[in-house]
Amino acid sequence: MTILITGGAGFIGSHLTEYLLNRGHKIIVLDNFFTGSPDNLKHLKNNPNLKIIKHDIINMPSKEKLDFGKTKIDQIYNLACPASPIHYQHNPIKTVKASVLGLLNMLALAKLNDARILQASTSEVYGDPLEHPQRESYFGNVNCIGPRACYDEGKRCAETICFDYHRQHQVDIKVVRIFNTYGPAMAKNDGRVVSNFIIQALTGNALTIYGAGSQTRSFCYVDDLVEGIVKMMSTRNFIGPVNLGNPNELTIDWLAKKILALTGSRSKIVHQQLPVDDPIQRRPDISLAQMKLNWQPKTTIEAGLKKTIKYFKSQL
């Protein structure tokens, strides 16, 4: 198949690109390199089945850009959007545009090519959840005027337009709600908790816990997530939304201590102010993914952190 991956030079996108190339597909990556980098794909750049294009999906890509020996695109994975709070809050208006205008362009392209399109949605659509664990039927608790809204509401609107394109134009959509994912290829300046703590531990700097550290997250290793995304893309008669994540819920304080132990670091822990609207708890209910996709994550937090620590050691 010819598969378009937007955001393919980013953290999850680069793993997905490699996974699909290894299965013999032709891949076109569209990325503006805002938070991703061609370096994430440099080990694949000689693969004749990979075409990397610098492009901002807020604009419709030209036919020439998308030409890869065959005009029809079979599948689109839409991952292009900054995902870390510091990055998506850097230019919030642009974040909304990436989620909404970018997706509108990709949906139009899917319609034109009669292609299947998968939207990378997020657990952030549940906001600061009042229902725990979060099931797909929960409508969420999002502050629509807060600093996280550009991302949360952008992604909520993205789900809306996927479903409207499906109802109005019969576009073949798939929606996955991704929960916190970590692993090699996260950017050093990403600002998310796993990469921050590992880099701080490896460089002897204090680990910065925001707030008391009693807030929870559930961390999924990237290889498990990619498998779930690809399974979702290949299912029939199920469009989602479906939660993809690891239900093993941890406090941020536990994570800091675990990373100190695994790195053997003598870094201190300091507490800083909790960001506005930071969700207190988050854990996916993955029953739907288990039932519909026969999917569940396999990697333990220890094994995943060890691989991620090894990666950052090689980068520093």
**Which of the ranges 64-72, 161-169, 176-184, 300-308 carries the binding residues for ligand NAD, by CB under 6 A?**
176-184
Give the helix/strand (H/E) hosting 308: helix 301-315
Mark the segment that binds ligand UDP (CB under 6 A) among 22-30, 241-249, 271-279, 296-304.
Answer: 271-279
How many CB atoms neighbour CB 55 within 10 A? 20
**C-alpha–C-alpha distance, residues 195 and 237, integer Å:** 37
Q: Is 250 helix (H, G, I), strand (E, B) or coil?
A: strand
Q: Find which of ligand UDP, ligand NAD, none residue 36 binds, CB within 5 to 8 Å per kind.
A: ligand NAD
Task: Give whichever of 20 and 194 is closer to ligand UDP, judged by the CB atom.
Answer: 194
2, 3, 5, 10: which one contacts ligand NAD (CB under 6 A)? 10
Task: Please say whether the beta carbons of 307 and 244 come within 8 A.
Answer: no
Is 151 among the residues known to form the active site? yes
Q: Does 241 bind ligand NAD (CB under 6 A)?
A: no
242, 123 contact by CB (below 8 A): no
The yes or no reply on residue 187 touching ligand UDP (CB under 6 A) is: no
Query: Among 80, 96, 198, 252, which residue interacts with ligand UDP (rule: CB under 6 A)?
Result: 252
Pairing relationship of beta strands 249-251 and 181-182 according to DSSP bridges: unpaired
CB of 63 to ligand NAD, least distance (A): 18
In the complex, least distance from residue 19 CB atom to ligand UDP, rounded to whole angstroms: 23
**What residue 75 binds from ligand NAD, ligand UDP, none (CB within 5 to 8 A, per partner kind)?**
none
The count of other CB atoms within 10 Å of the CB of residue 159 is 20
| Selected binder of ligand UDP within 40, 215, 263, 308 (CB under 6 A) | 215
Count residues contacting ligand UDP (CB under 6 A)? 15
Contact 106, 76 (CB under 8 A): yes
Q: Strands (DSSP E) along the chain, which ranges?
A: 2-6, 26-31, 50-54, 75-78, 116-122, 173-178, 181-182, 207-210, 216-218, 220-221, 242-244, 249-251, 269-272
- Residue 174 is encoded by which pair of tokens? 């798939």
Separation between Cα atoms, residue 256 and residue 269, nearest integer Å: 8
Q: Does 97 bind ligand UDP (CB under 6 A)?
A: no
Residue nearest to ligand UDP (CB): 192
Which listed residue (151, 165, 182, 221) is catalytic? 151
Out of 193, 199, 201, 220, the residue judged to bind ligand UDP by CB under 6 A: 193
| 185 phi/psi in degrees, rounded to 5 | 85, 0
| Residue 95: C-alpha distances to residues 9, 57, 154, 161 (Å) | 17, 11, 7, 16
Q: What is the DSSP letter of 98?
A: I
Tell me: does residue 217 bind ligand UDP (CB under 6 A).
Answer: yes
Q: Which residues pair with 250 in a beta bridge?
A: 217
Q: Which does 209 bind (CB under 5 to 8 A by kind): ligand NAD, ligand UDP, none?
A: ligand UDP
By beta-carbon proximity to ligand NAD, the closer residue of 133 and 267 is 133
Query: Is-contact 162 100, C-beta < 8 A?
Result: no
Report if residue 21 touches ligand NAD, rule: CB under 6 A. no
Applying CB under 6 A, the residues found at the interface with ligand NAD are: 6-7, 9-13, 30-36, 56-58, 79-83, 98, 102, 120, 122, 178, 180-181
Q: Which residues bind ligand UDP (CB under 6 A)?
A: 84-85, 180, 192-193, 196, 208-210, 215, 217, 252, 274-275, 278
